[in-house]
Amino acid sequence: MKHFDVVIVGGGINGCGLLRDLALNGVKTLLIEKGDFSSQTSQSSSKMLHGGIRYLENLDFSLVKEALEEKNLWLKLTPHLCFEREFYLPLYRYSKYAPWMLEAGLFLYDFLSHFQNRPHGMLNAEETLKAIPSIDPKGLKGAGKYYDGIVDDAKLSLECLYDGLLENDVDALNYTEVIETLKLDDGYQVSYKDLLSGNQETIHATFVVFTTGPFTDSLLPKLKIPWKPQLVPSKGIHLWLKHDSIQTTGSVVLTTKDNRVVFVIPQRHAILVGTTETPVDQDIFNISATQKEVDYLISILKQYFPNSNIKEDSIISTFAGVRPLAKEESHSSSLGKVSRHHKIYRPTSHCYVMIGGKYTTFRKMTQELAREIVPRLNYRYKPNLTLNPLRQHSIVPTFSEHDPLNLKMLQKIISTERVKTFDDLISRRLSIIEKAESLKDVMGLSVDQVKNLLKR
């Protein structure tokens, strides 16, 4: 029976980040993911690396400080995957905060970044209208300006995975489902099934780690792992709009009258709008946006941008994800107030479970877990290894120019970037935001021709 030191179940940002950390420290590691890597929550964020300026209101300074440090680290390590840009916080007569309060908050945000952020600023109404021509001028007092990072969330996960796979005795399987775990004296026996071929295999692992996000509460009991529900799942949806839908020179942060935060972020020749905070009442695997949720975001946009060009055909595509927020003993009824801190559990002597946290702080989260696992395997843990740049970049970059796509490039992507389906290729390796089924032509090849290449 094949043996691994660690089997990671769940291939989102935490699973991929943990695999990289363990692999760099010489740990024989296997990652198993039911869908494609980073195809669920970790590709459904607001595409930001950020400290979480709204968490200052909760006095969560330690989380904001850590997230800002990580944001600025990844801006340096992966400039091909992320970049810094300005964010505007419009102020109206009815806004919750006075201008001096906002300015104090923005100064604190810069302070917690050790002044590594580009410095904030305050704009009057006239300056705000120049920066955001589509914004509603009625009652506008001005805006605060600060800086955060924009990221391709799926590709950062994937490139962490690729980096780990460069090490010896490390592997990762997508479209593979864990169907049974059997506790042994010296670890776990893990059985899994390839969902595309139907093949099954059983291996031995000293440790099993679950980084399964919002699926944790339902999955662990099925696998007979001792577990009580620990999650407060929160659904968030986003819209991709055509670039001319809203006129703005930067990103805009809207604090709605029902106390939600909606981001409007121009990128990729389009505008990303999100997100919502709603309880989950549907199957969360490959979750999608409902018409009611889409209508809600559109109504917010029309309220704040009455002179915008938002029409029925302005929506390019939509996506949704579920945040795996960690339950607290007395959590707030407001999902936006639930802590974004992570938690690590050890339900048995050879099993770990990680839930909660923020995308931006994944390296710190997985490092905490790796720091405990690696010495238990009699390896010496080296925390600075994850500070090195990622060694294998995606063939097609997200935010910069690249050579025209051709058959040779496509074949290389399929052979080196763990692609198994058409959606893997379109959504995560090529970062195309249009609905895949609406694409009539990809790289000079028909959709059917591309699918045939994937079958080879």
| Whole-number Å distance between alpha carbons of 161 and 82 | 17
Phi, psi of 251 (to 5 degrees): -80, 150
8 strand-pairing partners: 31, 209
pLDDT of residue 347: 96
Phi, psi of 25 (to 5 degrees): -95, 15
Weakest mean pLDDT among 12-21, 155-164, 227-236: 227-236
Weakest mean pLDDT among 18-27, 66-75, 333-342, 387-396: 333-342
Mean pLDDT, rounded, of the chain: 91
Q: Measured between alpha carbons, how far is residue 148 from residues 82, 123, 159, 361, 414 in Å?
A: 10, 18, 21, 14, 33
> What would the mean pLDDT of 64-71 be, rounded to a whole number?
96
Residue 43 has pLDDT above 50, yes or no: yes
Q: What is the pLDDT of residues 187-197, one digit of tens each?
A: 999 999 999 99
Residue 365 has pLDDT above 80, yes or no: yes
Dihedral (C-alpha) 397, 236, 76, 375: value to the nearest 10 degrees?
-110
**Other C-beta atoms lying within 10 Å of the C-beta of residue 337:** 15
Q: Which residues contact 434 (CB under 8 A, 6 or more apart)?
A: 316, 317
Residue 442 has pLDDT above 80, yes or no: no
Residue 124 has pLDDT above 80, yes or no: yes
237 strand-pairing partners: 320
**What kind of fold does domain 58-149+232-335 have according to CATH?**
D-Amino Acid Oxidase; Chain A, domain 2 (3.30.9)
Phi, psi of 288 (to 5 degrees): -130, 165
pLDDT of residue 443: 64
> What does the radius of gyration of the chain's CA atoms come to, in whole angstroms?
22
Weakest mean pLDDT among 77-91, 249-263, 324-338, 361-375: 324-338
Residue 332 has pLDDT above 50, yes or no: no
Structure tokens at 54: 């709204």
CATH number of 3-42+154-230+338-387: 3.50.50.60
Please check whether the two domains, 3-42+154-230+338-387 and 58-149+232-335, share a CATH topology: no
Domain ranges of the chain: 3-42+154-230+338-387, 58-149+232-335, 407-455
Structure tokens at 261: 């935060």
Range among 267-271, 372-376, 440-444, 448-452 rated most confident:
372-376
Percent of the chain with pLDDT over 70: 95
Confidence of residue 331 (pLDDT cuts 50, 70, 90): very low
Q: What is the pTM of this model?
A: 0.93
| Whole-number Å distance between alpha carbons of 13 and 159 | 10
Residue 182 is given by DSSP the state E
| Whole-number Å distance between alpha carbons of 325 and 332 | 12
Residue scoring higher pLDDT (331 or 296): 296
Residue 424 has pLDDT above 90, yes or no: yes
What pairing do the DSSP bridges indicate for beta strands 82-92 and 251-255?
parallel
Residue 142 has pLDDT above 90, yes or no: yes
Q: Which residues contact 121 (CB under 8 A, 6 or more apart)?
A: 144, 145
Q: What is the pLDDT of residues 236-282, one digit of tens each?
A: 999 999 999 999 999 999 988 777 889 999 998 899 998 878 877 66
Residue 339 has pLDDT above 70, yes or no: no
| Whole-number Å distance between alpha carbons of 114 and 433 | 35
User: Distance of alpha carbon 41 from its chain centroid, rounded?
Assistant: 6
pLDDT of residue 297: 93
Weakest mean pLDDT among 26-30, 31-35, 319-323, 388-392: 319-323
Contact in structure between 181 and 224 (CB atoms under 8 Å): yes
Q: What is the pLDDT of residues 143-183, one digit of tens each?
A: 999 999 999 999 999 999 999 999 999 999 999 999 999 99
204 strand-pairing partners: 3, 189
SS3 content of the chain, % helix, strand, coil (to 5): 35, 30, 40
> What would the mean pLDDT of 227-241 be, rounded to a whole number?
92
Contact in structure between 157 and 10 (CB atoms under 8 Å): no
Please return the burial class of 393, using the count of CB atoms within 10 Å of its CB with bins 0-12, 13-18 and 19+.
middle
**Other C-beta atoms lying within 10 Å of the C-beta of residue 97:** 15
| Whole-number Å distance between alpha carbons of 99 and 421 | 50
What pairing do the DSSP bridges indicate for beta strands 140-151 and 48-49?
antiparallel
pLDDT of residue 439: 58
Confidence of residue 131 (pLDDT cuts 50, 70, 90): very high
Contact in structure between 145 and 253 (CB atoms under 8 Å): no
Q: What is the pLDDT of residues 368-407, one digit of tens each?
A: 999 999 999 999 999 999 999 999 999 999 998 878 788 8
- The helix/strand/coil state of 332 is coil
**Other C-beta atoms lying within 10 Å of the C-beta of residue 307:** 11
pLDDT of residue 436: 59
Weakest mean pLDDT among 184-188, 199-203, 233-237: 233-237
Residue 333 has pLDDT above 90, yes or no: no
What amino acid is encoded at 392 in this protein? Q
Before 275, cis peptide (omega within 30)? yes
92 strand-pairing partners: 140
Reference 322, options 262, 352, 282; nearest CA is 282
Q: Measured between alpha carbons, how far is residue 430 from residues 124, 155, 389, 416, 422 in Å?
A: 40, 9, 21, 13, 11
- Look at the block and give the residue holding tokens 């945040």: 323
pLDDT of residue 448: 80
